[in-house]
Structure 1
Amino acid sequence: MFDINKILRPNIKNLVPYSSARDEFKGEASVFLDANENAYGSPLEQQYNRYPDPLQHKVKLRLSEIKGVPARNIFLGNGSDEAIDILFRAFCNPGIDNVILVPPTYGMYEVSANINDVATKKVHLTEEYQLNLEGIAEVIDEHTKLIFICSPNNPTGNSINRDDIETLLANFNGIVVVDEAYINFSRQKTFIQELTEYANLVVLQTLSKAWGLAALRVGMAFASQEIVEVMNKVKPPYNINEASQQLALQALQNTDLVNLWIKETLAQRDNLVLQLKNLEFVVDIYPSDANFILVKTTDPNGIYRFLVEHGIIVRNRTSVELCEGSLRITIGTPDENKKLLETLQQYR
């Protein structure tokens, strides 16, 4: 059975977090002389001289309405990458513990592990890009603290079998991290709905993809209140700046526009797949639940260079194991997709 105290690092368990001025006073006042801020304002039209809300209450309340989860179960980070890094720092003892990765997958999990001196055990996905449950079970040991699963997966685009993820959640005594950066484009339902069932579940999402706010760097982690409280202890006091909080809150009022973009992206994805299948150098196009497709070709390096010469940038994934020969292509606007297809038709 999962027990957070058994996997939490002792120094984090005993950590007294930094107490900022905005943590110690909550409420309204007319004169703030507690945080050594510049009382005269900012040399900008918008005033940014005051420190932001360290726990981003307004943004979390709006997310709570949209996601159907209590605000106490939401952590906000400087991109999902901050949430990933904090999970390593909170639960993995450097040089002792390990995590399980299931490549091909998002590369930041391994980078963050290496930064934190945490060993990685890799269990490759099957040829169908699904979990190898037997392989995962074989490498779990007493020092395995985290399992990272990206679903829909990057770079393959497919969703991971839900029953397989639940099998891990039910049988692993560490934390299972389900990264749902592309969930808005998926036919699968989010794992956020399972938070009450699994105390060891952390779901990552982001405002960088469907919400179009990549430049603001706002990532989300949904987890038990216990896990969120640990993550809040470890994070820097003001990890989400005021401009990002204000703009994210504005964007979160406009769900209709985002839903319209999602529908258009899915329609464009289906059309792009149909058109690409007519090209003789396209070997296969893998099923996608994301805003990109993985396309296997006869000459990935040549095609990539040809597109670059014409001002079109895709991602060459041929060096990634199980993605040999493949290019990852993000779904663009109708005009961008048209230009891509017209250019590819010229390739010989």
Structure 2
Amino acid sequence: MDNPFNLNNLLRENIKKLVPYSSARDEFKGEASILIDANENPFGSPLNHDYNRYPDPLQHQVKAKLSNIKGVPAENIFLGNGSDEAIDILYRAFCTPGVDNVILVPPTYGMYEVSANINDVAFKKVNLTADYQLDLDGIANAIDAHTKLIFICSPNNPTGNSIRRQDIETVLNNFQGLVVVDEAYINFSAVKSFTQELAEYPNLVVLQTLSKAWGLAALRLGMAFASKEIIAVYNKIKPPYNINQATQDIVLEALNNVDQVNDWIKETVSEREKLVRELLELDYVQYITPSDANFILVKMEQPREVYDYLVQYGIIVRDRSKVELCEGCLRITVGTPAENRTLLEKLNQINK
């Protein structure tokens, strides 16, 4: 790769000098019969499970199981309190407030902008093209000496389409900062994950989640995949026990059920295609963006009125009609077959 990437040049000076907090579980590793080093309650918990001990700060068991499933070495995995923590740490590690900037490519996931604002980091918006692909010239022109991160969501939220792989590779090869590819919806796509490219691109960070296909949104477990050096930065900054023991235990159990998840994915994709076909038969539906996610972006006449109509029946979709480049659109998550049938019944009843 021609890109002269140097991680040390990107890090904030205070992070380079940071001495991370050293917890009791960091200082002692191994088995012991009497643990009186961490000021824990020695009697247990007022629950059926004992949660009186602090959890593994680096979640070794969970990472080992994820490593087998994802085909990524455990040393290249960071686990966060949702993908939001993984995003926030990137800002805190690499972006000096009031000095550095990042590039966003709207319409896209809103937390990139919120996290920038929280961290007092400027952001430049380079809108996607009319077909929701990267504006490579626009991105190139927006990059300056203080641009540290570029966020690319693929499959993209709220549009559902995948970003062309060769375009993402072009950005990776020509940008000396970090390229963050958010693959929250990758399980629903036939496109290959960028996790398989970590060795080729030292400036690549891939985000994934257990909130979507794995059905664990309530547990808040996000994943970042990157080089060992970037993962070391993550672990340096994160709170000492950022993933609680209950979450680790439940996730370990859930990860035994890959077949169940794969069945759900297949059914979701099948239902997505059925939903698209039937929605396109409605006179007021104008266009549906081809989707690689578990949702579809539907352009229609009077979207707000349709939204309000569905609310009357307890059916909640997402109104995206005020989002730039998504004018006139509702975002509809693919439900169960029964939920999708009810949705279509109500939409067919609208007096066009």
Aligned length: 348
Q: CA deviation at 1:72?
A: 0.4
* SS of alignment partner, residue 269 of structure 1: helix
Does 2:110 correspond to 1:107? yes
Distance in 2 between the 1:336 and 1:347 partners? 17
**Alignment gaps of 5+ in structure 2:** none
1:185 aligned residue: 188
How far apart are residue 347 of structure 1 and its match?
1.2
1:184-222 Cα offsets, whole Å, 9 max, x none, are 000100000000000000000000000000000000000
1:196 is the counterpart of 2:173: no
- Which residue of the partner structure matches residue 225 of structure 2? 222
1:150 maps to: 153
* Counterpart selection for 2:24 from 17, 21, 36: 21
Deviations 1:63-102 (A, max 9, x none): 1101111100000000000000000000000000000000
Match of 1:81 in 2: 84
Q: How does 1:1-348 map to 2 (within 5 A)?
A: 1-348=4-351
Deviation at 1:346, TM superposition (A): 1.1
1:280-324 C-alpha deviation (Å, 9 max, x unpaired): 110101100000000000010000000000100000000100000
Q: TM-score, normalised by structure 2?
A: 0.99
Listed as ranges, the gaps of 5+ residues in structure 1 are none
Aligned mates of 1:347, 1:53 — CA distance in 2: 54
With normalisation by structure 1, the TM-score equals 1.00
**1:109 Cα shift?**
0.1
The alpha carbon displacement at 1:24 in A equals 0.4
Cα offset for 1:30?
1.0
Q: Percent identity?
A: 72
* 4+ residue runs over 3 A deviation: none
- Separation (CA, whole Å) in 2 of partners of 1:25 and 1:172: 41
* Matches of 2:193 and 2:267, distance apart in 1: 21
Aligned partner of residue 40 in structure 1, secondary structure? coil
Amino acid aligned to 1:44: L
Tell me how far 1:153 sits from its aligned partner.
0.0
